Amino acid sequence: MKLGFPQHILGRAGLRSHDGRRWQNNPHLSVSLAYLRDILLYLDSRDIRMYRMAADLAPYLTHPDHPRFHNQIEECAAELAAVGDLARRLGMRLSFHAPAHVLLNAPDPERLEASRRTLDGLAAILDGMGLGPEAVIVIHVGGHYQDHDGAMAAFVRGWEGLLERTRDRLALEHDDRRFDVADALWVHQRTGVRLIFDMLHHRLHNPRGIPAPEALAICLSTWPLHQTPKIHFATPTTEMVRDRKGQPHPPRLNRHSHYINPFAFIDFLRSLPPMRDFDVMLEARARDLALLQLRRHLARFAPDLVQ
């Protein structure tokens, strides 16, 4: 089981996830790839073998108002291949999570086309790095639009309009409010898209009362046997929050904690019947620090799970 985390590095100062400069300063994929190379070397030094890259790795890649940025992937063919080779040599599993504005079921044709362009660009980056099929782009069904079933059907139509190489990179995650594991399975049965199980989302939105081990098994079964599925795991924050007037309020349960509750993670793993292996993307606000802390906690409280 590989443990991973998304995007930002907190354990070493100066490591940037991507070139975040504004368009006026000519940001470029080549700069982001240099940053990514340094991140991969840092992860290797910490024995971390899974990482979610920034979706803005190629800044303004598909922005309609800035066509001069549209050829970054072609301009960085050699750099992409080199970083991909480094990732493979280090045994690193890489992925993307599509930005929130990517909606394959958007009723607005322009937004739908922009979403397709974004996904095509992310898929092209993974292809340019020469990464295998486990390097996925995670997406959600999208908006509800006051028509639950219609929204899912619209996603299927949006999926069908994608390039085949882009479809081959996608993995669908159920969410915490609108579309549950059963909804995601409905989409899988019509598209073949692999499913990502998210434990916190399942706790927050499980209207059919599917037990977590069963929901996990459903998602794992959508992955080909020669691929290792991945799941998401987070624990909700419990700290009190204050509004602008300083008044205390309870936290939102869908807000990720800074660190993973180790006992919740251990209990989750121990609750599972025998099933196929999977990797875990830890969604915690302390990023790599949370992963390293969880690994220490596992070694102390559940050494049998890390043998």
> Per residue in 231-288, pLDDT tens?
999 999 998 889 899 999 998 888 899 999 999 999 999 999 999 999 999 999 999 9
- DSSP reduced 3-state for 65: coil
Domains of the chain: 3-225 (3.20.20.150)
Judge whether residue 74 has pLDDT over 90. Answer: yes
> Per residue in 121-161, pLDDT tens?
999 999 999 999 999 999 999 998 999 999 999 999 999 99
Sole residue written with tokens 């970054």: 72
Least confident interval from 99-103, 194-198, 247-251, 297-301: 247-251
- Residue whose C-alpha is closest to residue 281's, from 237, 238, 232: 232
Rounded CA separation 222/192 (Å): 8
The answer to whether the CB of 1 falls within 8 A of the CB of 280 is yes
- Residue whose C-alpha is closest to residue 4's, from 47, 56, 58: 47
> Per residue in 196-236, pLDDT tens?
999 999 999 999 999 999 999 999 999 999 999 999 999 99
Determine if the pTM surpasses 0.75.
Answer: yes
